[in-house]
Chains A and B, each alone.
Chain A
Amino acid sequence: MRGLIIKDLMSFRQRLVMVMVVTVFVIVLAVMFSISAASGNLRKMTVPGPDTTEQEAQVARDVYSYTFMMLMLLPMCAVGDTVRNLLHEDRQSGFTAVASVTPLTIRQRIMSKIICFCGLYLAGAVLSILICSAVSLFTDMVAFGQLFSIVIIGLSVCLIYTFLQFDLGIILNGSEVYSETFSLLIILLAVLGMNTKNIIALIKAGDDFPNVIFEQARSVSALITDRSYLFIITACIIGVISYFVTVAVATKKREVI
Chain B
Amino acid sequence: MESVKNAIEIKNVTKDYGDFKLDNISFDVPEGSVCGFIGQNGAGKTTTIKLLLDVRAKDSGEIYVLGRDMSKESAAVREDTGVVFDEMGFNEYLTAKDINIIMRNIYKNWDEKVFFDYLKRFALPVKKKCGDFSRGMRMKLQIAVALSHNAKLLVMDEPTSGLDPIVRHEILEIFREFVVEEDHTILLSTHITSDLEQIADEIVFINAGKIVLKGNKDVLLEKHGIMRCKKDERGKISDSLIVSEENSSFGIQLLVNDRQTCEKLYPKCVVEPATIEQIMLGYVSSPKRG
Contacts and interface: CB of A to CB of B under 8 A. Distances in A.
Interface of A: 2-4, 6-7, 10-11, 14, 89-90, 93-95, 97-98, 100-105, 252, 254-255
Interface stretch (B90-98, B202-210, B258-266): B90-98
A226 B88 CA distance: 51
14 contacts: A3-B102, A4-B102, A6-B102, A6-B105, A7-B94, A7-B102, A10-B98, A14-B93, A93-B89, A94-B89, A98-B85, A101-B83, A103-B76, A252-B57
A103 B101 contact: no
B102 A94 contact: no
A180 B39 CA distance: 40
Given A97-B85, A101-B78, A103-B106, A89 B55 contact: no
Contacts of A89: 91
Contacts of A3: 101-106
B20 interface: no
A104 B75 contact: yes
B91 A95 contact: yes
Contacts of B106: 2-4, 102-104
A100 B55 contact: yes
Contacts of A105: 75
Contact-residue size bin, chain B (C-beta under 8 Å from the other chain):
20 to 34
A185 B89 CA distance: 33
A2 B91 contact: no
Contacts of A98: 85, 89-90
Contact of B91 (A7, A101, A102): A7
Chain B: interface secondary structure?
A: loop
Nearest to B99: A7
Contacts of A93: 89-92
B78 to A, nearest CB: 5
A90 B78 CA distance: 20
B53 interface: yes
A103 B105 CA distance: 11
Contacts of B103: 3
A11 B93 contact: yes
B79 interface: yes
Contacts of B83: 101
B231 interface: no
B94 A10 contact: yes
B107 A102 contact: yes
Nearest to A105: B75
A11 B56 contact: no
A255 B50 contact: yes
Given A6-B102, A94-B88, A95-B91, 15 more contacts: A3-B106, A4-B102, A4-B106, A6-B105, A7-B94, A7-B98, A10-B93, A10-B94, A94-B85, A97-B89, A98-B90, A103-B76, A103-B79, A254-B57, A255-B56
